[in-house]
Amino acid sequence: MPDSLPSHDVAVIGAGVVGAALARAFTLAGAKVVVLEKAADVLDGASKGNSAILHTGFDAPEGSVELACIRDGYALYHEIRERLGLPVIRSGAMVLAWSEAEVAELPRLMAQAVANGVTDVETLTGAEALALEPRLSPRVQAGFRVPGEHLIDPWSAAHGYLLQALENGATLMRQAEVLAGRRAGGVWHLATTAGAVQARLVINAAGLWGDEVDRRVTGETWFTIKPRKGQFVVYDKTAASLLGHIILPVPTKTTKGIVVCRTVYGNLLVGPTAEEQDDREHATVDRPTLQALMRRGEEILPALSGQEVTAVYAGLRPATEEKEYRIRTDLAEDYICVGGIRSTGLSAALGIAAHVVRLTARDWVPLADPVWPVMPSLTDCAPRDWQKPGHDGILCHCELVTKREVEAALTGPLAAGSLGGLKRRTRVTMGRCQGFYCSAALAKLTEGRLAQPMLGGSDGAE
Amino acid sequence: MAQSDVLVVGAGPAGLSAATELAKRGVSVTVLDREDQAGGIPRHCNHPPYGLREFHRLMRGPAYAARLVDEALAAGVTIRTRTTVVALHPGGTLDITSPQGLETLTARVVLLATGVRETSRAARLIGGEKPGGVMSTGALQGIVHLNGQRPFQRPVILGTELVAFSALLTCRHAGITPVAMIEPATRITAYSPAAMLAGVLGVPILRGTAIDAIHGRTRVEGVRLNRPEGPEEMATDGVIVSGGFRPDAALLRASHLEVDPGSGGPVIDAWGRLSDPSYFAAGNLLRGVETAGWCWAEGRRVARAIAASLQGRLPAPTAARLRLTSDALRLAVPQMLPIDTPPDSGAATRLQLRLNRPAKGRLRLMQEGQCLLTRRIESLPERRITLPLPALRSTSDITLTLEER
């Protein structure tokens, strides 16, 4: 008999997209879940910056857990997205070859797609590619089309998974960094910066800190995170009309390469780079790399030249020594490591969560009639708040974010904890002016309401 | 609501002066502004000099903005704030959203006066991290003057346009002590008296210096400067990214109206008329930044043109297209030059130019092999250059060339 009953069945460490999907899956499976996040807000690590594509897995390693999770995650996203109010743009992708060496790779890539279960790929000649995307550089030689590759909203998706967990009884603790773990009487005792937490089962979804969390909780780790940085350039909304498909390069061993695609928010994005680094906290951009990305973008899509840059950002992928996901159940009893989810976490998250639930096999009773929250629409896939009466005026003019939307994002179980979190929930300040017009109104509205204040230490103080 | 003859988009100096002038001429005018308060940028520029040209007295921005609003209301102008235009359609039809929801408005003439914004840190491709405490002058002034908040203590100011010195005054007002002003060029962009202000306040101006990277995960902790003698780290808790004004032309770019890639604003004729003659434009939307007084005068002049248009007194929109043929020339407005200008029709009398880079040489305006005008210049980007509009007899293209020496 344990000394006391733990308050939670499952503790998920890390509130990135994978942690959010795990929290949802375990909650719906009937477990009482607590999510521990060290930052002031969720999605503050690797999930902060990615290319926002829902991948089919056509180029994932055959027979890998990663492939199975992407395929499953892809299907699950389409299964639940309407109920959660999540958008999709069924853009399709084109993998394009720009040299003879790349053309030679195409048959192998197509065969791999078919072997991976993505059977609807279609070959393209250069002329066919240009007929579908007339703005492409005429230098394109050949390629193939992957109709199932789609554009999604990376943040609404993860917020939606987590909110559904919270609205069905899960708990979120922010600014709760896990310091140590101890197992006693069949129960995990986690020491965190926000106090002690007990749970029967601990799941490490700590992303960029996966190896460190392994060490802190179990005393050992079996892999090393090798952060891989990706820089991106986001162009203004006028550029989005230049392209329909996601334009993918022929991948190399280490990276999917530089993508040119629209975003669900109506911008156009070029990136990412793949730069190895040791630092897990700091993702910097640098001008020469951004300029090189822009040049690459213009080589693929010459009309990009002269388009205005709206934003630049860098994300870190939690890569490890190996390509495959680092999912393992035997490091310690009732402890599961979900590590090394490098660049396919957004596509695979729901599949990973289902996979991990299956690995645990407990006798929880699944929720019979769970609550389904509907996420606010931040894209043109569904009517936006500014199109409905009573929005109290527009706060962010570039992205047409209303005061009512910002108020909503500052309240509720998943209220924003930082300006970054508020941006991810509403898109406020993420448009072309980057806060020139709305920073003052936003600073006033958020004063005293964010765990990590928008302004400096003297925030409003006189 | 009752529809107006003229809808003005933007209640800054250009939009309000145009609306006031039109109302005084008996035209029904409604001004739409997306902010809670009308008045535009001067609302948060809490320093002189404003109002000399318009009201013959030295004013601070907020008092000046309030005066512009009062004059418009007294003349009978309707002002709708918290009203955002979301689309421009042919023939003067606008989709708007306000707390009441979506509406469509139509007017005989629409005047676009949506002004400018500063170039963001992102668009300048400044490296490093993305901490809080990096902001434009516009954001800083709103936070300081409208909210009474203080976002940092010891920022650096990037840029030396006039607005950078406005940022300096704002800092001084709020008890903020900038550690340096940083200018990538070798010369200060604003005219020299402004630079003396930095000297008086003891803020060094580092010329030939770029911000290479911004450090800090949640708040600015420092910047890496690229100085003529090499890289240098500087401790600071904020970065004011000032100037680089560009037209706020998002609506225009998404519409049927023709945009000039050089100015980023609309293609206009001498009366401020756009490629769809139900649309006019005035103020900083045309070219990047000018003073409030300049925009005010421009708004008044274009109001006369709109009044003439409503009376059917403007010539048909046929004109000579002006083309820039030197890379040092960034923009020239108007882009369409008139053949004949009826009296009191509000036609521009001068061409406004801006440079891309410091340059000197001879400007030459040519048509059909004939030199219409020539003028020697030596100037910097963002400085005002004007030329008289030549009298034309033909609508064939005109070229403007800078022969550099």
Q: Are both B310 and B320 inside the same structural domain?
A: no
Q: Are both B79 and B167 inside the same structural domain?
A: no
A458 contacts B142? CB cut-off 8 A? no
What is the separation, in whole angstroms, between the first and last Cα of chain A?
57
Which of A281, A285, A460 is nearest residue B128 as measured by Cβ atoms? A285
Q: What's the maximum distance between 2 C-alpha atoms anywhere in chain A?
A: 72
Q: Does A455 touch chain B (CB under 8 A)?
A: yes
Last residue of a domain, one of B241, B266, B285: B241
Domain ranges of chain A: 8-49+154-223+322-360, 89-149+226-317, 385-446
**Average pLDDT for chain B:** 95
Q: Are both B103 and B208 inside the same structural domain?
A: no
Cβ–Cβ pairs < 8 A, chains A and B:
152
B212 contacts A462? CB cut-off 8 A? no
Q: Are both B29 and B114 inside the same structural domain?
A: yes
Residue B351: predicted pLDDT: 97
Q: Are both B252 and B105 inside the same structural domain?
A: yes
Residue B1: predicted pLDDT: 45
As given in the structure block, the two tokens for residue B26 are 């008996």
Say how far residue B396 (Cα) sits from the centre of its chain.
Answer: 30
Which of A286, A433, A456 is nearest residue B219 as measured by Cβ atoms? A456
Q: Are both B258 and B236 inside the same structural domain?
A: no
Chain B CB contacts of A443 under 8 Å are 142-143, 147, 149, 151
Interface test with B, best of A293, A437, A444 (most B CBs within 10 A): A437
Chain A CB contacts of B135 under 8 Å are 435, 439
Residue A89: predicted pLDDT: 98
Cα–Cα distance between A168 and A149 in angstroms, integer? Answer: 31
pLDDT: which is higher, B380 or A41: A41
Q: How many CB atoms lie within 10 A of CB B394?
A: 11
B237 contacts A393? CB cut-off 8 A? no
Interface test with B, best of A388, A418, A436 (most B CBs within 10 A): A436
Q: Are both B6 and B111 inside the same structural domain?
A: yes
Chain B CB contacts of A432 under 8 Å are 120, 250
**Residue-level pLDDT, tens digit, chain A, 462 residues:** 444 567 899 999 999 999 999 999 999 999 999 999 999 999 999 999 888 999 999 999 999 999 999 999 999 999 999 999 999 999 999 999 999 999 999 999 999 999 999 999 999 999 999 999 999 999 999 999 999 999 999 999 999 999 999 999 999 999 999 999 999 999 999 999 999 999 999 999 999 999 999 999 999 999 999 999 999 999 999 999 999 999 999 987 767 789 999 999 999 999 999 999 999 989 999 999 999 999 999 999 999 998 999 999 999 999 999 989 999 998 899 999 999 998 899 999 999 999 999 999 888 999 999 999 999 999 999 999 999 999 999 999 999 999 999 999 999 999 999 999 999 999 999 999 999 999 999 999 999 999 999 887 443 332
Q: Tell me the mean pLDDT in the region B268-290.
A: 96
Q: Distance (Å) from the C-alpha of residue B344 to the closest C-alpha of chain A?
A: 36
β-strand partners of B403: B362
Q: Considering the domain A89-149+226-317, what is its CATH architecture?
A: 2-Layer Sandwich (3.30)
CB B44 within 8 A of CB B51: no
Using pLDDT thresholds of 50, 70 and 90, give the confidence band for residue B191.
confident
Q: Are both B108 and B251 inside the same structural domain?
A: yes
* Alpha helices (runs of H) in A98-224, residue ranges in sequence order: 100-115, 126-132, 154-167, 210-218
Cα–Cα distance between A433 and B335 in angstroms, integer? Answer: 26
Q: Which of A170, A80, A169, A164 is nearest to A371 (CA)?
A: A164
Q: Are both B32 and B60 inside the same structural domain?
A: yes
- Cis omega before residue A272 (within 30°)? yes
Task: Give domain A8-49+154-223+322-360's CATH superfamily.
Answer: FAD/NAD(P)-binding domain (3.50.50.60)
Burial class (CB in 10 A: 0-12, 13-18, 19+), B295: buried
Residue A4: predicted pLDDT: 54
Cα–Cα distance between A181 and B274 in angstroms, integer? Answer: 69
Nearest CA in chain A to B129: A284
CB A208 within 8 A of CB A225: yes
What CATH number has the domain bearing residue B184?
Answer: 3.50.50.60
β-strand partners of B281: B112
A290 contacts B125? CB cut-off 8 A? yes
B132 contacts A454? CB cut-off 8 A? yes
Vertex A229: Cα angle to A224 and A235 (nearest 5): 155
Residue A181: predicted pLDDT: 97
Same fold for the pair A8-49+154-223+322-360 and A89-149+226-317 = no
Q: Are both B206 and B345 inside the same structural domain?
A: no
Residue A49: predicted pLDDT: 87
Residue B365: predicted pLDDT: 97
pLDDT: which is higher, B252 or B47: B252
Which of B126, B138, B218 is nearest residue A436 as measured by Cβ atoms? B138
Tell me phi and psi for residue A127, to 5 degrees: -65, -40
Contacts of A310 (CB under 8 A, 6+ apart): A234, A235, A236, A237, A267, A430, A431, A432, A434, B122, B123
Q: Are both B380 and B358 inside the same structural domain?
A: yes
B98-102, B157-161, B195-199: segment of lowest average pLDDT:
B195-199
* Helix axis angle, B13-24 to B292-310, nearest 10°: 40
Last residue of a domain, one of B225, B241, B257: B241
Q: Does A119 touch chain B (CB under 8 A)?
A: no
Which of A285, A393, A460 is nearest residue B149 as measured by Cβ atoms? A460
β-strand partners of A271: A259
Nearest CA in chain A to B95: A387
Vertex B345: Cα angle to B340 and B349 (nearest 5): 65
Can you give the residue range of the structural domain that contains B108? 1-118+245-314
Last residue of a domain, one of B214, B241, B268: B241
Q: Distance (Å) from the C-alpha of residue B334 to the closest C-alpha of chain A?
A: 22
Residue with tokens 């009191």: B344
Q: Are both B376 and B279 inside the same structural domain?
A: no
Which of A418, A434, A457 is nearest residue B122 as measured by Cβ atoms? A434
B142 contacts A441? CB cut-off 8 A? yes
Residue A2: predicted pLDDT: 43
Residue B42: predicted pLDDT: 95
Interface test with A, best of B116, B140, B150, B158 (most A CBs within 10 A): B150
Tell me phi and psi for residue B97, to 5 degrees: -130, 145
Q: Does A284 touch chain B (CB under 8 A)?
A: yes
A444 contacts B127? CB cut-off 8 A? no
CB A44 within 8 A of CB A238: no
Kindly state the percentage of chain B with pLDDT values over 70: 99
Cα–Cα distance between B231 and B156 in angstroms, integer? Answer: 16
Give pLDDT tens digits for A383-428: 999 999 999 999 999 999 999 999 999 999 999 999 999 999 999 9
Interface test with B, best of A304, A455, A462 (most B CBs within 10 A): A455
* Alpha helices (runs of H) in B31-103, residue ranges in sequence order: 52-55, 61-75
Residue A5: predicted pLDDT: 61
Q: Does A295 touch chain B (CB under 8 A)?
A: no
Rg of chain B on CA atoms, in Å: 22
Total number of domains constituting chain B: 3
Cα–Cα distance between A27 and A238 in angstroms, integer? Answer: 42
Q: Is B65 helix (H, G, I), strand (E, B) or coil?
A: helix
Residue A462: predicted pLDDT: 29
Chain B CB contacts of A398 under 8 Å are 250
Residue A251: predicted pLDDT: 86
Cα–Cα distance between B299 and B252 in angstroms, integer? Answer: 18
